[in-house]
């Protein structure tokens, strides 16, 4: 939030993008913790229901989410 406030005060032009599935193709040397929301969370549960069905949560607006 501080970064957003500072960027707004400085009238900077900011661009944010999301490349779906990128996290599936990167070699990592450390653990990464992610929050998957919406459709991707539902698909993860459908992929391995016995493993993930206990882990699915709903946020305040009812959107499914899962920490991986």
Question: What pLDDT does residue 62 have?
Answer: 92
Residue range 8-63, pLDDT digits in tens:
889 888 777 777 776 666 777 888 788 889 998 998 889 889 988 888 999 999 99
Residues paired with residue 19 on neighbouring β-strands, in sequence order: none
Q: Which residue has the tokens 């913790």?
A: 33
Question: What pLDDT does residue 58 have?
Answer: 93
Asked if 4 contacts 12 with a C-beta cutoff of 8 angstroms, the reply is no
The string of DSSP codes covering 20-61 is TTGGGS---SS----EEETHHHHHHHHHSHHHHTTT-EE-TT
Rg (C-alpha) for the chain, rounded Å, is 16
pLDDT band at 65 (very low <50, low <70, confident <90, very high): very high
Query: Tokens for 67?
Result: 């920490």
């Amino acid at each position: 939030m501080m970064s957003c406030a500072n960027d707004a005060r400085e009238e900077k032009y900011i661009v944010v993008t999301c490349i779906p599935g990128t996290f599936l193709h990167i070699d990592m040397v450390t653990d990464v913790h992610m929050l998957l929301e919406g459709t991707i969370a539902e698909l993860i549960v459908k992929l391995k229901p016995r493993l993930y069905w206990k882990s699915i949560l709903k946020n305040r607006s009812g959107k499914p989410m899962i920490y991986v």
